Amino acid sequence: MRKYLLATCVLAVLATPAFADVSGPYVGIEGGFTFPQSSDLDVILNDTSATPPTTATFDNGYKVKYKTGYDLDAVAGYKLGLIKLEVEGGYKRAKVKSLAVSAPLISAVGTDSGMVGTAADFDVGGHIGIKTLMANALLDSDFGQSKFGGYIGGGIGRAWGSLSGDKDNAMAYQGIAGIRYALSPNIDAGLKYRYFRTATMNFGDAFTVNGTNFTTEASGHYDSHSLLASLVYNFNSRAEAVEAVPAAAPPPPPPPATQTCGDGSVILATSACPAPPPPPPPPVERGERGR
């Protein structure tokens, strides 16, 4: 689904000959569903009861699966032609669906504690939460002269995550595509897709098995897909932008039709030429003298 949405937005933005909507500042809110991807986490296991304490690293020691969660955002930005620059603050939250623990990690806990270990000895908590602050750059355009428009772009920023009772933060990036519809000259409603991913984050935990104390440090990426509904207020009205465009000047009237009279004068075709002057009188003939 996201591939079709991305393709539609790219074609719409590139095929539109010019932007018809108005530039200026805007604010908006967004909310919807997030679909977190499974997280493969590397785990460092510390046996703090051993003398001296021991440490072992297990690649992909945890595999965490999540349920569908929610995603809420607020944006503020400025549109200049086809370009939109915005700041976005958001929060994502999803419950943990399951935690799979690698056999070598379970075996290490069993060996150190002197009893058979199980996946139930490990815990990452009941949910994951991600707070974000992102800077986005988007290409945005109306679809011709309709009330529909679309946008595509991406962003980079910071993410603060919480898992297994611990917190960490890391750089993050995202890809964005969406469509919108003008409900009024100032208000747009829309549908937005987002892919989100963080750099490595680390979450610590502590537990005891058979009197043996352990600590763990799980590290890995968080990534998700989100589908959001949006409502945006544009401070500059599209109606005002239309009124600001001066009306085109009417074409000049065609030149009047004329005619050329017999005396060489040029007059309007609707006028009558002047009457020609009367011919001169004939000359008078005289007889011979004396007759």
pLDDT of res. 267: 73
Domain count of the chain? 1
Using an 8 Å Cβ cutoff, are 44 and 205 in contact? no
Q: Is residue 190 part of a domain?
A: yes
Check the CA dihedral 147-151-156-162 and report its sign. Answer: positive
Range of the domain at 88: 2-244
pLDDT at 243 > cutoff 60: no
Q: Is residue 285 part of a domain?
A: no
Question: What CATH number has the domain bearing residue 111?
Answer: 2.40.160.20
Q: Is residue 265 part of a domain?
A: no
Q: Is residue 274 part of a domain?
A: no
Q: Is residue 256 part of a domain?
A: no
Q: Is residue 93 part of a domain?
A: yes
Using an 8 Å Cβ cutoff, are 260 and 266 in contact? yes
Using an 8 Å Cβ cutoff, are 227 and 92 in contact? no
Q: What average pLDDT does this structure show over 223-247?
A: 82
pLDDT at 5 > cutoff 80: no
pLDDT at 288 > cutoff 80: no
Cα–Cα distances in Å, from 191 out to 55, 139, 148, 150?
A: 48, 16, 11, 10
Q: Is residue 100 part of a domain?
A: yes
